Amino acid sequence: MAAEAQTTPTTAAASARPSTRLVIDKATKIYQTATGPLLALDSFSAEIGEGEFVCVVGPSGCGKTTLLWALSGLHPLTSGAITLDGTPVKGPRPEIGMVFQEANLLPWRNLMKNILFPFEIKRLDAAPYRTRIQHLLETVGLAGFENKFPRELSGGMQQRASLVRCLSFDPSVMLMDEPFGALDAFTRDEMNLLLLKLWSEQRKTIVFVTHSIVEALFMADRILVMTPRPGRLAREVVVNLPRPRTLEMQSSPYFVETAREIKELIHASVKK
């Protein structure tokens, strides 16, 4: 495992990675479109360990979402394989929770009913999870808003609600698809800090897709940088920032320099 990490520019002894949970092996996805086949993801390989926070960063349309959907079992791969805890991912798995672009709340349900939606689909009794949900609502500052409808909540509140919905049934893996992309910069910082807080509390394994290098550097243990379509793994970057992370770190020389490196890497592959 350590040999893989050698490819990173900031090598730093990738502190003995904990037990591997997700293995992506030469994942390839071809979509059949009206204008012919489209190679979205080209033999992408990576491993993600227990409790790790991994960000996938790349330009729009590089196949980040495709990768995430393959991980979640929503989309089958054209070739290659994905395994979670040793078993191949062939469809949605109960240990996975997804957070989508936009908040993706159901507008005809109030906040509480949105949060209980996974339980309804899974036909799972929510009673044992009540205190957990209440705690989550308090952590994200939504206690007291249980009866509000999505349209009565701000964009940030909606996205916080979708975090609670994802964590409500205690999945061990969180797959997040540019969840804060539509929020303004300040709300986004706030959401990043909140997510880090939830992560340090609950130690989920997180795969977080974003097109913001700053967001990725700020949160991740490790960044998978992708090339533009077809999506390939350009490089793996281990982030050497202490935790807990603070907003001030974003102006540290290390942060600025690494962000620049990743940006150049992506730009270089755009030109090719």
Partner 1 sequence: MADELLEKIPEFRKDTDVKPQDEGFIDWTALTHVPTARNRREFLIIVGVAVVVVTTIEILIRAFQVPNYVLPAPSGIFNALVNNFETLLPHIGVTLQELVGGYLIGATIGILLAGVVTQAPLVEKIITPYIILLVTTPMLALVPLLVLRLGFGLEPRIVAVALAVGPMVMINSATGFRRTDLAKIALARSYGANTLQIFYKIRFPIALPMIIVGLMVGGIFGLLTAVGAEMVGGGVGLGSRLVYYSSLARMEAFFATILIIATIGITMYVIFFLIGKKWASWEA
Binding site for partner 1 (CB under 8 A): 31-33, 38, 40, 61, 65-66, 69, 72, 74-76, 91-92, 94, 96-98, 100-102, 104, 106-108, 117-118, 120-122, 149-151, 182
Q: How many H-runs (helices) and E-runs (strands) does the chain carry? A: 9, 10
Question: What's the min distance (Å) between Cβ of 132 and partner 1?
Answer: 17
Question: With b meaning 16 or more CB within 10 Å and e meaning fewer, what string describes 94-110?
Answer: eebbbbbeebbbeeeeb
Going from the C-alpha of 75 to that of each of 6, 46, 92, the distances in angstroms are 31, 18, 9
Question: What's the min distance (Å) between Cβ of 166 and partner 1?
Answer: 9
Nearer to partner 1, 100 or 187 (CB): 100
Question: What's the min distance (Å) between Cβ of 149 and partner 1?
Answer: 6
Nearer to partner 1, 129 or 218 (CB): 129
Element (H, E) at 4: helix 2-5
Question: What's the min distance (Å) between Cβ of 63 and partner 1?
Answer: 10
Q: What is the 3-state secondary structure (H, E, C) of 140-183?
A: CCCCCCCCCCHHHCCHHHHHHHHHHHHHHCCCCEEEEECCCCCC
CB 88 within 8 A of CB 24: no
Question: What's the min distance (Å) between Cβ of 19 and partner 1?
Answer: 24
Nearer to partner 1, 94 or 244 (CB): 94
Nearer to partner 1, 101 or 240 (CB): 101
How many whole angstroms separate alpha carbon 84 and alpha carbon 140?
29
Nearer to partner 1, 120 or 201 (CB): 120
Q: What are phi and psi of 54, to 5 degrees?
A: -110, 130
Question: What's the min distance (Å) between Cβ of 94 and partner 1?
Answer: 7
Nearer to partner 1, 51 or 155 (CB): 155
